[in-house]
Amino acid sequence: MEIDNIKETRNIIEDVVNGSIADELGIDPGDILVSINGSRVKDVIDYKYLISDDTLLLEIQKQDGELWEFEIEKDYNEDLGIIFTNPLIDKAKSCKNKCMFCFIDQLPPNMRDTLYFKDDDSRLSFLQGNFITLTNMSDEEIDRIIKYRLSPINVSVHTTNPELRIKMLKNKNAGKVYEILKRFHKANLEVNCQVVLVPGVNDGSELENTIKDLAALSSSVKSVAVVPVGITKYRQNLEKVEPFNKESANKVIDCINLMQEKYLYEIGSRFVFASDEFYCLSGIELPSYEAYEGFPQYENGVGLMKSFEYEIKDALNKLPKTLSLNKKVIVATGTLAYNYMREIVSLVKEKFDNLDITVVPIENNFFGKTITVAGLVTGNDLVSQLKGYTEVDCVLIPKSMLKRDQNIFLDNMLLDEAIEILGIDIKPCDVEGGKFVEVFRLGVN
């Protein structure tokens, strides 16, 4: 996940929610939060902890330098309505690992600076769902997580074998992860884990042992996602790592299926889930909607396709029997999801007369053809591979192709540039079935 404002450390207020306590007090954007109940605010975790009281003494520095004090009585845990310039109110902690599979180490030069920042910050795990390795944390920082009850927290485990984890992460502190997880378990903190799987390294019996260890903490470790290593063409001077193929992906799914049966019987949950990429690579049918148990690792690409399919069918069932839409539309996606999106599109076309939809898989020349997910398709690849299409009313792309909250692709091409080059409207869509169907119901305008 990209982190903006990573260098800003002061408690600068960017905005105030209308009608909030801060708004009623006259706190303004540009003001600085100095202290709460006499305590300096180190970061957003301090802030959340300190404002949980029902009586507060707030010290604010106005833009002219004058200090104002506010005595506040509020409901317990009621928010003040303050939005900070930097969500962390502190500089984000960078990763100190040299992981053999690190995606950022495989990026080409001359991309946005924020894309090269490796975060490994427990606060971002709590606030934004980022996965962290726990390798750069002191005992005091772990105690702070427990004290402030930062939960849920997302941990990149990869393996519970201490020696192997040190080798994979190239960090002498990497072997302590299971001991830290046991401390979280003792404190009843909720944890979700992920395993980035590397063929011939942490798969097979190593994966089985890792899941067995994590399942022993299942009252706190709620789920484990297993995702395949991503490999770009920019691996010069990096350790040799092989990508997954159909055969090796099949073996992973077979292994996970056996473990799911075991843990469903033993702890009442399937517990470990393979990402959608493994199913696409293997050609094996996705599990049922219910098998994802509420989609605890949706943001990690686990069950996203099945959830999207379910939402599509639900939204289509709510439409009149047939609608007419005389449009020619392209749905652009990564090569991984091509067959899946063709099935989705066939469902949509059944509900709309005269609707022509073509699914176009965009090969990733920018990162290399081993990168197949839609979220890593660049503007130049999109434009170059759609240039031959004519008389198209609209191109639909997933919003994940663009920077969060900005219409810019990973290669810095603006969405408006791509539209101008193609001469076709490009519409970013949420990866949510109801909203996808709504685009067609409204006429793809």
Q: What is the DSSP string of 2-68?
A: --SSTT--S-BEEEE-TTSHHHHHT--TT-EEEEETTEE--SHHHHHHHTTSSEEEEEEE-TTS-EE
Q: What is the mean pLDDT of residues 314-323?
A: 90
Rounded Cα–Cα distance for residues 191 and 176 (Å): 16
Name which CATH class applies to 309-441: alpha beta
Tokens standing for 7? 């260098």
Tokens standing for 280? 């696409």
pLDDT at 86: 66
Model confidence at 8, pLDDT cuts 50, 70, 90, reads very low
Q: Over the stretch 83-127, which tens digit does the pLDDT of each residue have?
A: 877 654 445 555 677 888 877 777 777 666 666 445 444 444 444
Rounded Cα–Cα distance for residues 269 and 224 (Å): 11
Q: What is the mean pLDDT of residues 431-443?
A: 90
Residue 312 · residue 342 · CB < 8 Å: no
Alpha carbon dihedral 184, 185, 186, 190, in 10-degree steps, equals: 70
Q: Over the stretch 272-312, which tens digit does the pLDDT of each residue have?
A: 999 999 999 999 999 999 999 999 998 889 999 999 999 99
pLDDT at 144: 80
What does the domain layout of the chain look like in residue ranges?
Answer: 13-84, 104-301, 309-441
Q: What is the CATH number of domain 104-301?
A: 3.80.30.10
Tokens standing for 178? 């299971």
Residue 379 · residue 413 · CB < 8 Å: yes
Q: Over the stretch 188-245, which tens digit does the pLDDT of each residue have?
A: 999 999 999 999 999 999 999 999 999 999 999 999 999 999 888 888 888 888 899 9
Question: Does residue 320 register a pLDDT over 90?
Answer: no
pLDDT at 116: 47
Residue 173 · residue 136 · CB < 8 Å: yes
Q: Which residues, other chains included, contact 327 with Cβ-Cβ below 8 Å and sequence gap of 6+?
A: 354, 355, 356, 393, 394, 443, 444
In 219-351 the beta strands, taken as DSSP E runs, fall at 221-228, 272-274, 323-334
Q: Over the stretch 17-56, which tens digit does the pLDDT of each residue have?
A: 898 998 999 989 888 888 888 888 877 777 777 887 888 8
Q: What is the mean pLDDT of the chain?
A: 87
pLDDT at 336: 93
pLDDT at 147: 84
Residue 146 CA from chain centroid, whole number:
24
Pick the CATH number of 13-84 from 3.40.50.720, 3.40.50.2300, 2.30.42.10, 3.50.50.60: 2.30.42.10
Rounded Cα–Cα distance for residues 38 and 271 (Å): 44
pLDDT at 2: 40
pLDDT at 125: 42
